[in-house]
């Protein structure tokens, strides 16, 4: 096989994996604090649309990104309020976020279908690193959001494992009663990380509309929010493994795209199925692996915390 094709495919892998990575990192934080948010798909769509509209109006992708981040935060706030303060069922609330986000983006998106944008996040060669043979074209001739995602992984890993707030977050996700007894603000922390998760989902969505495709297409996330939820399990709530998992799926995406482009005999419908089937297969192995190694989800994941009344 031609080396250029391999490099191009791997570069496309990073591109396709980046939105998954951003969203998965956000969900890892929320779940580490005990909040399962199944609304990723909806938040991504709202982020993709709001970012796109603002970028279209202002010709400034950074402003679009900011708005995507804010809209992701606002929607996740609904989820945080319902599940943390009102102790609503996290699964149903998350589904409601997805339904609402899908509907809202479909409704408002009608105005901007088919409109191209001039300014979006274009790839550029990172100074000096981009010139390295093979590595450079794959990792360092990407757009600025990809570079940011490289930085986010070690930052979030450091935050989770090595800092005091990270410890508090994990405590809230594992044993909120004990954390509360130690004076940790359980509700505040759950709000905080749910909202950060929403921001990253908004950015992940905006990556699709401001870099990956740069147009608005209804339901353009195509299930990536759900794949990210599976990736969190695959990653065993670890940011570095999330990077691995996201790029694995980026590779599946990039390869099936390339196969479609060269016109293999397999109908495109079956090639389009591969990311979903791959997710299910990976999820099966990840579930068996976590069960065997006894590393499970945060113990309090999905449970609302009811503070005992002090007498």
Partner 1 sequence: MSLTLEKRDTFSTLTNFLVPVISIVVALLIGALIISLSGFSPLTAYYEMFAGAFGSGYSISETIVKAIPLMLCALGVGLAFKTVLWNIGAEGQLYVGAWAAGWVALSFPDGQSWWLIPLMMLAGFIGGALWGLIPGILKASMNVNEIITSLLLNYVAILGVDYFVYGPWKDPKGYGFPFSPFFGQGAWLPTFFGTRIHLGIIFAVLAALILYYLLKSMRLGYEIRVIGENVLAARYAGMNIFRTILIVFAISGGLAGLAGMAEVSGVIHRLQHAISPGYGYTAIIIAWLSRLNPIATVIVSILFGGLLVGGFSVRSLGLSESLVYIIQGIILFLLLAGEILTRYRVVWRGGSRG
Nearer to partner 1 by C-beta: 143 or 238?
A: 238
Residue 175: CB atoms within 10 Å: 18
Considering only 6, 57, 60, 87, the residue that binds partner 1 (CB under 8 A) is 87
Residue 244 as a binder of partner 1 (CB under 8 A): the answer is no
Cα–Cα distance for residue pair 257/241, rounded to 1 Å: 24
Residue 273 as a binder of partner 1 (CB under 8 A): the answer is yes
User: Rounded to the nearest 10 degrees, how much is the dihedral formed by the CA atoms of 173, 174, 180, 186?
Assistant: 0
CB of 108 to partner 1, least distance (A): 7
Closest CA to 76 of 163, 205, 171: 205
Residue 91 as a binder of partner 1 (CB under 8 A): the answer is yes
Stretch that binds partner 1, among 24-32, 85-93, 137-145, 251-259 (CB under 8 A): 85-93
CB of 288 to partner 1, least distance (A): 6
| Tokens read off for 136 | 């450079």
Write down the number of H helices and E strands in the chain: 12, 0
- Written in H, E and C, the secondary structure of 77-128 is HHHHHHHHHCCCCHHHHHHHHHHHHHHHHHHHHHHHCCCCCCCCCCCCCCCC
Residue 220 as a binder of partner 1 (CB under 8 A): the answer is no
Considering only 93, 141, 175, 256, the residue that binds partner 1 (CB under 8 A) is 93
Provide the strand spans (E) within 97-246: none
CB of 272 to partner 1, least distance (A): 5
Handedness of CA 129, 132, 138, 142 (dihedral sign): positive
Residue 267 as a binder of partner 1 (CB under 8 A): the answer is yes
Residue 122 as a binder of partner 1 (CB under 8 A): the answer is no
Considering only 261, 265, 269, 293, the residue that binds partner 1 (CB under 8 A) is 269
Considering only 107, 124, 158, 161, the residue that binds partner 1 (CB under 8 A) is 107
User: Rounded to the nearest 10 degrees, how much is the dihedral formed by the CA atoms of 297, 299, 305, 308?
Assistant: -170
Residue 70 as a binder of partner 1 (CB under 8 A): the answer is no
Tokens 């948010």 locate to 37
| Tokens read off for 254 | 């990039």
Nearer to partner 1 by C-beta: 18 or 93?
A: 93
Residue 95 as a binder of partner 1 (CB under 8 A): the answer is yes
Nearer to partner 1 by C-beta: 70 or 77?
A: 77
Cα–Cα distance for residue pair 229/112, rounded to 1 Å: 29
Stretch that binds partner 1, among 87-95, 127-135, 137-145, 157-165 (CB under 8 A): 87-95
Closest CA to 202 of 71, 62, 25: 71
The site string for partner 1 over 27-46 (x = CB under 8 A, - otherwise) reads -----------x---x----
Which residues would be at the binding site for partner 1 (CB under 8 A)?
Answer: 38, 42, 78, 82, 85-89, 91-93, 95-97, 99-108, 110, 222-223, 226-227, 229-230, 233, 267, 269-270, 272-273, 276-277, 279-280, 283-284, 287-288, 291, 310-311
């Amino acid at each position: 096989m031609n080396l250029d094709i391999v490099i191009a495919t791997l570069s496309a892998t990073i591109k396709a994996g980046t939105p998954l990575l951003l969203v998965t990192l956000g969900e890892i934080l929320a779940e580490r604090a005990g909040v399962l948010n199944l609304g990723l798909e909806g938040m991504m769509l709202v982020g993709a649309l709001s970012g796109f509209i603002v970028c279209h109006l202002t010709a400034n992708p950074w402003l679009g990104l900011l708005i995507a981040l804010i809209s992701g935060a606002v929607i996740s706030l609904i989820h945080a309020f319902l599940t943390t303060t009102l102790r609503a069922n996290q699964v149903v609330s998350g589904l409601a976020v997805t339904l609402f986000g899908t509907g809202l983006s479909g409704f408002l998106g009608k105005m901007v279908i088919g409109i191209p944008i001039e300014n979006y996040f274009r790839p550029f060669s990172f100074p000096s690193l981009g010139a390295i043979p093979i590595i450079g074209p794959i990792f360092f001739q990407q757009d600025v959001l990809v570079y940011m995602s490289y930085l986010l992984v070690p930052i979030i890993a450091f935050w989770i494992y090595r800092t005091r707030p990270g410890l508090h977050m994990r405590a809230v996700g594992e044993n909120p009663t004990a954390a509360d007894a130690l004076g940790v603000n359980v509700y505040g922390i759950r709000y905080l990380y749910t909202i950060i998760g929403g921001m990253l989902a908004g950015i992940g969505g905006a990556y699709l509309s401001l870099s990956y495709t740069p147009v608005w297409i209804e339901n353009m996330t195509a299930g990536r929010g759900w794949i990210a939820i599976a990736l969190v399990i695959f990653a065993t709530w670890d940011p570095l493994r999330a990077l691995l998992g996201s790029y694995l799926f980026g590779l599946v995406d990039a390869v099936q795209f390339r196969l479609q482009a060269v016109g293999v005999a397999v109908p495109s419908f079956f090639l389009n199925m591969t990311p979903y089937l791959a997710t299910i297969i990976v999820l099966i192995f990840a579930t068996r692996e976590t069960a065997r190694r006894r590393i499970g989800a945060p113990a309090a994941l999905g449970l609302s915390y009811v503070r005992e009344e002090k007498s």
